[in-house]
Structure 1
Amino acid sequence: MSRRQAPADARQALADALTAEYAAIYAYGPIGVRLTGADRRGARSAEAAHRARRDALVLQLSAGGGQVPADRAGYALPFPVTDRAEALRLAVEIEERTAAFWRAVLPVTSGADRTRALNALTDCAVWATRWRRAARVTPVTVAFPGRPG
């Protein structure tokens, strides 16, 4: 996932968010195998949250015969994940990237879609904070989650 132009409409923004959810789910595979204990349980919980959002988006976008972006067989990770520190770094990065896609949904939606986007953005921000804390990264929070940096 890279920086891109703002989506033109709600349907495109939600499709982009779905693509981000696919990538997040993929990333939690290499993340989880490098973690133990509470961190591994956290990775499973975060992955489950991304799976739930993916499933809800697939249903929503496919309603009425709409187009659903396909998941890819694999995604390029931004760096190799060979130890706990890199796994935590990737977890932070994937949550921040996913938050950016959900943030882009906010200005082009209203009602339930906007609420869903805000909840997803908040969830990603909370997970990124947890991962920063586990990695002992400071600051542990950012002022505007999902904001292009």
Structure 2
Amino acid sequence: MPEESVAAVQAALGAEQAAIWVYGLVSAFLPEELAATVDEGATAHRNRRDETARLLADAGRKPRPPEPAYVPPEPVTDQASALTVLVLAETDTTVAWRAVLERTDDRGLRDSALAALTDGAVRATRWREQAGDTPAARAFPGRPGD
């Protein structure tokens, strides 16, 4: 795997690790009826993290460990701020996976990155809908600044 691809995959791994942490944080601020959706998102990110770590290890690279903690861009104190940080975490993963797409020609890696970008975009849209944001869906998921 070329260095440029490795750096992008490591960054995507970091985004997945941060998303897992965020899902753990927000679970305390969301109502019980969203618990299954939160669990589903956390599980998806754990699976993607594990798959990404294996991909790096198989390429002879050491996956970067997660940070001990992450600082959300704003304090999470209620349902609205929890939804905001969930959307941001999902958006961060789509940006990271889009960067992988832009930095590799490997078909398997591209397929994996596209699946991750799509999954993150769908979850971000669902969280935006839950928050009442419009438009809930973005035209070009993964584009920085979206």
TM-score category by the smaller chain? Answer: over 0.9
Q: Could you tell me how far apart the structure 2 residues matched to 1:66 and 1:106 are? A: 19
Which of 120, 125, 140 is matched with 2:121 structurally?
A: 125
In the TM superposition, structure 1's runs of 4+ consecutive aligned residues that sit over 2 Å from their partners are none
Q: Which moved more, 1:40-49 or 1:61-70?
A: 61-70
Count of aligned residue pairs for this structure pair: 143
> Kindly, what percent of the aligned residue pairs are identical?
43
Which of 87, 105, 111 is matched with 1:115 structurally?
A: 111
TM-score by length of 1: 0.90
Gaps of 5+ in 2: none
Structure 1 position 37 matched with structure 2 position 32: yes
- Measured at CA, do residues 71 and 142 of structure 1 come closer, stay the same or move farther in structure 2, by a change above 3 Å? same
Structure 1 position 138 matched with structure 2 position 134: yes
Q: Could you tell me how far apart the structure 1 residues matched to 2:59 and 2:10 are? A: 15
Q: How does 1:93-108 map to 2 (within 5 A)?
A: 93-108=88-103
TM-score by length of 2: 0.92
- Measured at CA, do residues 70 and 80 of structure 1 come closer, stay the same or move farther in structure 2, by a change above 3 Å? same
Q: Could you tell me how far apart the structure 2 residues matched to 1:76 and 1:29 are? A: 13
Q: Could you tell me how far apart the structure 1 residues matched to 2:59 and 2:112 are? A: 20
Residues 73-108 of structure 1 show CA distances to partners (whole Å, capped at 9, x for unaligned) of 111111111111111111111101111000100022
